[in-house]
């Protein structure tokens, strides 16, 4: 049995529209321990919703999510999360943010200092310990969010388009750093993105989702070496892009009714 | 430089006022000249019981304000978080918000007597709603992902209120409190006007009745100065509390 087990999970929202919105539709997915799985799909395909359900922040409408055999029904420090817009605590300094989870765990101050310093150094923010987040660039803020999550030493890292708000150069650097950290630390990683190249570069497995209602279209194994030339990454990305293209068009062009789509 | 720019119009106004009084354009009975007010102030200050009146007033004001902050923040956060609390209190808050609270002062004197308590309660009532509304809005506006982050870092239950909601709502709560601080002076002085045995409002009232208009204006000047100083100090405190917000 896989470490994280998503079984028949749907999420239906009753919005202002007459029909309920099916954000995630009967998804089954297994994630092995210590693997890096990326989830890619057009915007609005429910990939973030799926991640939030695994995080325990929202409850599935149907189905069940288990982690290590136990049903997930609330967030917990075993699953760390990084959001696209960082969600740092603005009233705390960099160190305050990184130590937040350690305080909640009841770890003594001296040990807290050591741990937070280790992760602040790791994400290359040495010297910025006493700075408030609003003084930092987007890339630096995202590093703080990463350090805050890692400091709690969660088994599983949930990453919700974490580099989506960063500029292209910062993004490449952050991808490389994240891959290094993940390889070094034996974590199970679920990484949601709409960037196919990012999904291929980071993932050992890429889950491709359909446009709404979000279903899993296909799961691909990525067997590229760490030092694979960019060309190889691009080739694989093109392959996934071909699979994804129709879905993106469906998501962008105001869609046909679900029944018509099934017929076509 | 900015201080000079800030106070220049004020000095010009006072100078104009003084000139008009000296030129006989304003009757001293209707509006005492600035110099007469200053000498009234000196006379008051040398009298000895000025400090007692000021002390009594500040005590009433602080007690009322503190009560309003404790009750107001609790109620505002509660309304934002718990559906039934909101259902019960929202109509009350909406209907009583535009009501001038000073209209209730005679009633409060009936209930609480002419001593401290009726004044404290008047200040409390006047300051309560701005605090409730700011705490309510601030708490409702908290970014949901901050709460999610805290929960995934191990915070749960009632602790979320203190660690996240209250802290994130603090900018709104503190600006609501600034409004409450300004209102507290109005409520304090009006309640002391009506019936009192001490307090700066009582002092103004009794000097006026005795026909000592320059003394009365000196009393008004004291209220204005205390109010202005309180606001300046409060803004310093607020900026320090919210130092994580400042840019560049």
Q: A232-236, B101-105, B187-191: which has the minimum mean pLDDT?
A: A232-236
Closest CA in chain A for residue B167: A91
- Coil vs helix vs strand at A159: strand
Residue A45, pLDDT score: 81
**pLDDT of A156:** 92
Predicted confidence (pLDDT) at residue A260 exceeds the cutoff of 60: no
Query: If pLDDT is split at 50, 70 and 90, which confidence band does A34 have?
Result: confident
Q: Residues A208, A40: contact at Cβ < 8 Å?
A: yes
Q: The tokens 């239950």 sit on which residue? A: B157
- The nearest alpha carbon in chain B to A80 belongs to B152
Higher pLDDT, A224 or A206: A206
Mutation pick from B148, B151, B152, B167 vs chain A, by most beta carbons of A within 10 Å, is B152
Computed over every residue of chain A, the mean pLDDT equals 85
Nearest-CB residue to B154 (from A55, A85, A105): A105
Tokens of B12: 């010009």
Burial label, A155 (beta-carbon count in 10 A; 0-12, 13-18, 19+): middle
Say how many residues make up chain A. Answer: 264
Could you give the CA distance from residue B82 to residue A3 in angstroms, rounded to a whole number?
A: 37
Measure the N-to-C terminal CA separation of chain A; round to a whole number of Å. Answer: 36
What residues form DSSP beta bridges with A30? A5
3-state secondary structure of A167: coil
Nearest to A81 among B148, B164, B247 (CB): B148
Of B85 and B3, the structure prediction assigns the larger pLDDT to B85
Check if the beta carbon of residue B138 is closer than 8 Å to that of residue B173: yes
Per-residue model confidence as pLDDT tens digits over A237-258: 787 777 777 777 766 665 555 4
Which residues does B84 contact at the CB level (< 8 Å), separation at least 6? Answer: none
Q: How far is CA A196 from the centre of its chain?
A: 14
pLDDT class for B232, splitting at 50, 70, 90?
very high
ipTM of the predicted assembly exceeds 0.95: no
The verdict on a CB contact (< 8 Å) between A77 and B167 is: no
How far is it, in rounded angstroms, from Cα B131 to Cα B73? 6
Would you tell me how many other CB atoms lie within 10 Å of the CB of residue B39? 15
pLDDT at A262 over 60: no
Burial of B49 (0-12, 13-18, 19+ CB in 10 A): exposed
Asked whether the beta carbons of A73 and B141 are under 8 A apart, the reply is no
Q: Which residues of B67-98 are buried (b: 16+ CB within 10 A; e: fewer)?
A: bbbeebbebbbbbbbeeebbeebeeebeeeee
Question: Could you give the C-alpha distances from B191 to A241, B60, B185, in angstroms and in order?
Answer: 74, 11, 10
Residue of B nearest to A54 (CA): B152
Q: Please state the separation of Cα B140 from the chain's center in Å.
A: 25
Q: Is a pLDDT exceeding 50 seen at residue B51?
A: yes
Probe site for chain B from A58, A75, A77, A141 (most B CB atoms < 10 A):
A75
Backbone angles phi, psi at A79, to 5 degrees: -125, 105
pLDDT tens track for B186-203: 999 998 888 888 889 999
Take residue A35 and report the two structure tokens written for it. 């693997």
The answer to whether the CB atoms of A55 and B145 lie below 8 A apart is: no
CA B28 to chain A, closest CA, distance in angstroms equals 55
- DSSP 8-state secondary structure symbol assigned to residue B98: T
Dihedral sign from CA coordinates of B194, B197, B203, B206: positive
Nearest CA in chain A to B164: A89
pTM of the entire structure? Answer: 0.84
Mutate to test the interface with B, among A81, A84, A99, A152 (most CBs of B within 10 A): A81
Which chain A residues are Cβ-neighbours of B153 within 8 angstroms? Answer: 77, 80, 100-101, 104, 148, 152
Retrieve residue B207's tokens. 């000097």
For B167, the closest of A83, A91, A154 (CB atoms) is A91
A181 vs B10: which has the higher pLDDT: B10
Pairing state of beta strands A4-13 and A62-67? antiparallel
């Amino acid at each position: 049995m896989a470490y994280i087990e998503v079984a028949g999970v749907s999420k239906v929202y009753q919005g202002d529209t007459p029909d309920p919105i099916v954000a995630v539709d009967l998804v089954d997915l297994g994630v092995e321990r210590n693997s890096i799985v990326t989830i890619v799909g057009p915007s609005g395909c429910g990939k973030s919703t799926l991640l939030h359900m695994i995080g325990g922040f929202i409850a599935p409408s149907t189905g069940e999510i288990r982690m290590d055999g136990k049903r997930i029904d609330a967030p917990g420090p075993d699953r760390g999360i990084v959001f696209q817009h960082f969600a740092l605590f603005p009233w705390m300094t960099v160190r305050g943010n990184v130590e937040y989870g350690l305080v909640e765990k009841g770890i003594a101050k001296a040990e807290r200092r050591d741990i937070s310093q280790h992760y602040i150094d790791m994400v290359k923010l040495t010297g910025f310990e006493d700075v408030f987040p609003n003084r930092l660039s987007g890339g630096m803020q995202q590093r703080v969010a990463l350090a805050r999550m890692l400091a709690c030493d969660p088994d599983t890292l949930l990453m919700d388009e974490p580099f989506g708000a960063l500029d292209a150069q910062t993004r490449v650097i952050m991808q490389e750093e994240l891959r290094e950290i993940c390889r070094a630390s034996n974590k199970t990683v679920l990484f949601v993105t709409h960037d196919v190249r990012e999904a291929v570069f980071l993932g050992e497995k890429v889950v491709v989702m359909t446009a709404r209602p979000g279903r899993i279209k296909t799961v691909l194994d990525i067997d590229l070496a760490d030092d694979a030339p960019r060309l190889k990454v691009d080739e694989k990305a093109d392959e996934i892009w071909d699979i994804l293209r129709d879905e993106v068009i469906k998501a962008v062009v105001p869609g046909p009714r679900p029944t018509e789509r099934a017929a076509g | 430089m900015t201080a000079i720019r800030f106070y220049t119009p004020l000095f010009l106004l006072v100078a104009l006022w003084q000139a008009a009084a000296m030129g006989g354009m304003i009757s001293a009975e209707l509006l005492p000249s600035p110099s007469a007010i200053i000498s009234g102030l000196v006379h008051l200050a040398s009298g000895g019981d000025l400090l007692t009146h000021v002390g009594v007033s500040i005590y009433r004001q602080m007690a009322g304000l503190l009560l309003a902050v404790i009750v107001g923040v609790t109620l505002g956060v509660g309304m934002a978080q718990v559906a039934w609390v909101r259902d019960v209190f929202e109509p009350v808050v909406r209907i009583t918000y535009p009501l001038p609270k000073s209209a209730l002062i005679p009633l409060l004197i009936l209930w609480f007597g002419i001593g401290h308590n009726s004044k404290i309660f008047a200040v409390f009532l006047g300051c309560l709603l701005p605090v409730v509304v700011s705490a309510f809005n601030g708490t409702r506006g908290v970014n949901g992902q901050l709460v999610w982050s805290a929960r995934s870092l191990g915070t749960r239950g009632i602790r979320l209120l203190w660690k996240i909601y209250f802290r994130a709502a603090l900018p709104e709560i503190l600006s609501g409190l600034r409004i409450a601080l300004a209102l507290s002076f109005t409520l304090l002085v009006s309640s002391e006007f009506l019936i009192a045995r001490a307090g700066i409002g009582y002092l103004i009232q009794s000097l006026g009745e005795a026909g000592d208009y320059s003394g009365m204006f000196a009393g008004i000047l004291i209220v204005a100065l205390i109010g202005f100083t309180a606001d300046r100090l409060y803004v310093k405190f607020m900026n320090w509390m919210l130092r994580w917000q400042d840019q560049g």
